[in-house]
Amino acid sequence: MHTGIIFDVDGTLADSWKLGFDATQQILEKYNIPLITPEIYHECTRYATPDRLARHAGWQPEDDEYVKVGKQLAQEFDELYIGLVSKDTASFFPGIEQLLHSIPETIAMGALTNAAEQYAHAVLRTNCPVTSRSSSSSSSSSAIYSRFQSIRGADTVPKPKPAPDGLLLVCRELNVPAHQCVYVGDSPSDGVSAHAAGMKAIGVLWGSHTEESLRQAPFDHLCSTVEELQAILVEHCK
């Protein structure tokens, strides 16, 4: 039976919080909405982009304008955010590229983010550039991006995390049953989503959320280093 690993992107693979924070501030400033603190930004990364921005704008889910405002702000945010992706703004955390290389090719790999799908593609392409065929030295990093057989964002799944819909869709596209997959993320909502999908969840402590909040979420393992994560994934891949 096939086995799969699905990764969150921001705060898990990529050290990109400052990119998201700065782009958020630009959108809020454009609409004369009070700016937020880094702490508020980190806390709200558990929400999909429209929900996060609607909350930053002062709306709550029960408000009539919540969905409309969220969609409008998210569209502008995504256009700005995706265009700012670079090695400087959204690089992999140290050790992540090596970890991805270590995953056997027999293991299906996918990615699911609560950001836009095209943002996930941009981050993975930027960190895993495809080298020219004429290049004399073949970089193995060029193969990492192609290893992700399914890449989804909150804008291309039925419901964003913490609902399980996105993970279940990725599992179908990987052709791997959910109980044979593991989801790796940095947010409490990642643990909730994986648990609801019927798969194991691994939480990483180098992202936006506190260890306390992750310990309250349904994660099977918590990792404080990439080396710890790699050791657990090795066991999953057996």
Evaluate if residue 134 carries a pLDDT over 90: no
pLDDT in tens, 200-228: 999 999 999 999 999 999 999 999 999 99
CB burial of 75-92 (b: ≥16 within 10 Å; e: otherwise) equals: eebbebbbebbeeebbbb
Q: Indicate the DSSP class of residue 74.
A: H
- What pLDDT is attached to residue 144? 87
Q: Indicate the DSSP class of residue 83.
A: H
> How does DSSP assign 31-67, residue by residue?
TTPPP--HHHHHHHTTS-HHHHHHHHTT--TTSTTHH
Compute CA distances 64 → 33, 53, 71, whole Å: 18, 15, 13
pLDDT in tens, 63-120: 999 999 999 999 999 999 999 999 999 999 999 999 999 999 999 999 999 999 999 9
Domain 4-15+90-237 part of CATH 3.40.50.1000: yes
Evaluate if residue 136 carries a pLDDT over 60: no
Are 115 and 74 in contact by the 8 Å Cβ rule? The answer is no
Q: Centre a 10 Å sphere on the Cβ of residue 163 and count the other Cβ atoms it contains.
A: 18
pLDDT higher at 138 or 213: 213
pLDDT in tens, 165-199: 999 999 999 999 999 999 999 999 999 999 999 99
pLDDT in tens, 40-78: 999 999 999 999 999 999 999 999 999 999 999 999 999
Q: Centre a 10 Å sphere on the Cβ of residue 39 and count the other Cβ atoms it contains.
A: 9
pLDDT band at 1 (very low <50, low <70, confident <90, very high): low
pLDDT band at 33 (very low <50, low <70, confident <90, very high): very high
Evaluate if residue 138 carries a pLDDT over 70: no
pTM of the model: 0.92
Evaluate if residue 128 carries a pLDDT over 70: yes
- What pLDDT is attached to residue 130? 59
So where are the chain's domains? 4-15+90-237, 17-83
